[in-house]
Structure 1
Amino acid sequence: MEQTLNVTTTLTQFAQKHIKPFVLDWDKQSAFPKELFCQLAEMGLMGMLSMPEYGGLALNYEAYADAITTISQYCGSVGLSIAAHNSLVSQHICQFGNEAQKKKYLPGLCNGSSLGAWALTEPNAGSDAAGMTCSALRTDKGWALNGCKTFITQGASADVIVVIAKTDNGKNGHTAFLVEKNTPGFSAGKPLEKLGMRASETVELFFNDCIVSDDTRIGAVGNGFKQTMQILDGGRISIAALSLGIAKGAYELALQYAKKRQQFGKAIIDFQAIGFKLAEMATKIYAAELMLKDVCIKKDAGANTIKESAMCKLFASELAVKVSGEAVQIMGGNGYMTGFGVEKYYRDAKLCTIGEGTSEIQKLIIQREISR
């Protein structure tokens, strides 16, 4: 609890000074504020889940999720990038990397001198991640990677990328590798234009006989897909926290607007049509907060949270879309204009129902778990 309170207070002050004044400009220009992450690293935010011996804070999941939520109240793009760096890249190395890999990569990822990306999705392998075709063929020099990855968060700016590639046609046919930015045969495309999350860089990655040594392999050959499923379990908690932050940010804007906006001689919050919308938004946000807290406590205790993570991600992401949409409605024409900021929450929210497993995939996971 003390960790959570300290994180919330510190990050709120930081976000109000270093994020809030620039959010709309970043969004308009689709600018990835890479320099911001150096400032976040000074606060330990780039190594929240990593162990202290590598420069990390070793926060519990409750404090980590609260940090993502707090940042995302001000900018979902920044929250998304921090989440990808911490829960996907660093956690993959922390959980499955060997000691040499941890010593080589984690200190830089924690201190901000290195930015990480995680590459799973392909143009023809989205929800069906096991259907990937990006391959890694063993050679006398190590491994030759060939293929394409898409929708990769901060893929062009990253210094090291965790790449999941196909190494065999069998059930256990995927392996994870660490690929550094300047490796010959590796390249990144231009940032993709998106509906929302515009200040979070999203690119395609290309591998053309990209040779990496066997030292870059994470864990055993054929263990990559199993690793991926475990990493995504924690990643769904990150997206739930991101979703909650977006919902809270949109709600607060709508609430303050409704208190100040006068129509027919009184504040619009005093009209039942508006007041009831806000009451329902506040109630569902509270429910999402409790769900997120519960799954974090269980994960910190070492429990299996596959079902709960999927439930939390499903509920919070759909809530973010609903709340941000209602916030735009409450603010009417002003909500539709870019200068008021609420439409950005609306655009950003949609990614949460898609990234790291669509809402439909979450329902499949939940169905599978409750059918056991």
Structure 2
Amino acid sequence: MTSYHSNAQEIREVIQTVRAFAAKELAPYADELDREERLAPGIFRRLGELGILGLTCPEEFGGAKLGAVSVAAVMEELSYACPGTCLSYLAHSLLFVHNLAQNGSPEQLVRYLPNCISGEMVGGMAMTEPGAGSDAIGLTTKAVKKGDHYVLNGSKMFITNGPIADVFLVYARTGEDRMDLSTFIVERGFAGFSVGKKLSKMGMRASPTGELVFKDCIVPAENLVGDEGSSVKHMMKNLDIERVGLGAMSLGIARACLDHSLKYAQERQQFSENIINFQAVSEKIANMYIGYRAARAFIYEAAQVIEEGRRANQEAAAAKVYASEMATKVALDAIQVLGGYGYIREFPVERLMRDAKLIEIGGGTSEILRSIIVKEFVRKSGK
């Protein structure tokens, strides 16, 4: 968080509240949730009571009317305690709630936002398909209008909160043009909608992930978000804050690894000396801190750009690449510092390393994001 931010004191209070909650309600159970591949019972209700499920939303719907800097701060604190829980929180609060608040009609906001911001309903977003990941515009799920409703056919893959969510924002093709994509609000109980298998993952195991299937799924016409064919713009704009949120998750993971490494290195003795006094160990810990601080500045700068109402396509892409790759390296170094203890599941750095890797993939792979960074340079140069 930047000290010059106009809401600095309010953000500090949010950080303190979330940090205390996460330390009590998430951190002690993170290993168990990872092992059992589940969310903490009633966690969305409790996050709703905490007031953080609608950070960027208008107060009239129960939101906090804060910005991207607050989003980054909350993501960092939740991930410090339990990255898997934070990933499900991100899918709900940014990919569904924030997205709908930005693009939905007044009627849609009244119908869905209050229950999602309170945690009564859990949301998710369905973009990725079995054959369309990095090429988000290449999706094949189709929506055809028939009278007062649309009929959706297709499937979605790797959907965070898929097995548990009550409502989804679903992207589907509504025309022959490659860019002719539309967004629909699909409730779990709609005819023709079903949840496929729950996926067992390497990391982020506390966050349920699954497949969604649409087989002649009936969606009321009033559940179209915005105009037909307008979703590419919605999609790309929402990616900025998603990438900042994911990058902030990497900050939480890296900071946790640093703290575990510091504690262990100051207690563990070899050759009658604390290992933190060995240059090879102290150098790793120093580099962990340097990487974390550099990534933190990068992430919060990108968040500030978004908060000022500007596109942060290049900034968010660069910040996520740097932060996610930094967190994976820090986690691997933490395992090395802890040695054999770092490699067993009794110590949390093994879990944090598995969690960290996902962020190099989700929300745009590092390879795709590097391409976006260069394309932005070309676009800005006009060549």
TM-score by length of 2: 0.96
Alpha-carbon deviations, 1:62-104, whole Å to 9, x = none?
A: 1221011001001111111111111111111111101000000
Q: Does 2:65 align with 1:58?
A: yes
Alpha-carbon deviations, 1:338-365, whole Å to 9, x = none?
A: 0111100000001000001000011011
Separation in 1, partners of 2:210, 2:179 = 28
| Structure 2 residue identity aligned to 1:179 | V
Which residue is equivalent to 2:238? 231
Q: Does 2:60 align with 1:39?
A: no
SS in 2 for 1:45: coil
Separation in 2, partners of 1:63, 1:232 = 17
Of stretches 89-98 and 113-122 in structure 1, the one that deviates more from structure 2 is 89-98
| Structure 2 residue identity aligned to 1:209 | D
| Structure 2 residue identity aligned to 1:364 | S
Which residue is equivalent to 2:372? 365
Separation in 2, partners of 1:223, 1:89 = 17
Aligned counterparts, 1:159-238, within 5 A = 159-238=166-245
Which residue is equivalent to 1:323? 330
Aligned counterparts, 1:67-146, within 5 A = 67-146=74-153
| Structure 2 residue identity aligned to 1:93 | L
Alpha carbons 2:156, 2:212 under 8 Å: kept: yes
- Identical amino acids, percent of aligned pairs: 39
Alpha carbons 1:143, 1:211 under 8 Å: kept: yes
Match of 1:147 among 154, 169, 192: 154
Which residue is equivalent to 1:285? 292
**Closer, same or farther: CA 322–45 of 1 in aligned 2, 3 Å:** same
SS in 2 for 1:46: coil
Separation in 1, partners of 2:245, 2:67 = 13
Alpha carbons 1:174, 1:223 under 8 Å: kept: yes
Shift of residue 311 of structure 1? 0.5
Which residue is equivalent to 1:271? 278
Alpha-carbon deviations, 1:156-199, whole Å to 9, x = none?
A: 21111000001111143110000011111001023101000001
Alpha carbons 1:50, 1:56 under 8 Å: kept: yes
Separation in 2, partners of 1:319, 1:65 = 17
Shift of residue 33 of structure 1? 2.2
Shift of residue 298 of structure 1? 1.5
Alpha-carbon deviations, 1:123-155, whole Å to 9, x = none?
A: 000101111111101112410000000000001
Which residue is equivalent to 2:311? 304
Listed as ranges, the gaps of 5+ residues in structure 2 are 1-7
Shift of residue 46 of structure 1? 1.2
SS in 2 for 1:143: strand
Which residue is equivalent to 1:249? 256
Which residue is equivalent to 1:11? 18
Which residue is equivalent to 2:3? none
Alpha carbons 2:138, 2:178 under 8 Å: kept: no
Separation in 1, partners of 2:162, 2:35 = 20
Separation in 1, partners of 2:200, 2:79 = 20
**CA RMSD, aligned part only?**
0.9
Match of 2:352 among 341, 345, 349: 345
SS in 2 for 1:189: strand
Separation in 2, partners of 1:120, 1:271 = 48
Listed as ranges, the gaps of 5+ residues in structure 1 are none
SS in 2 for 1:130: helix
Alpha-carbon deviations, 1:267-323, whole Å to 9, x = none?
A: 111100000011011011001111112111111111221100001000001011100
Alpha carbons 1:3, 1:59 under 8 Å: kept: no
Alpha carbons 2:243, 2:317 under 8 Å: kept: yes
Alpha carbons 1:114, 1:159 under 8 Å: kept: yes
TM-score by length of 1: 0.98
Separation in 2, partners of 1:79, 1:151 = 16
Separation in 1, partners of 2:163, 2:110 = 23
Which residue is equivalent to 1:23? 30
| Structure 1 residue identity aligned to 2:174 | T
Separation in 2, partners of 1:3, 1:129 = 36
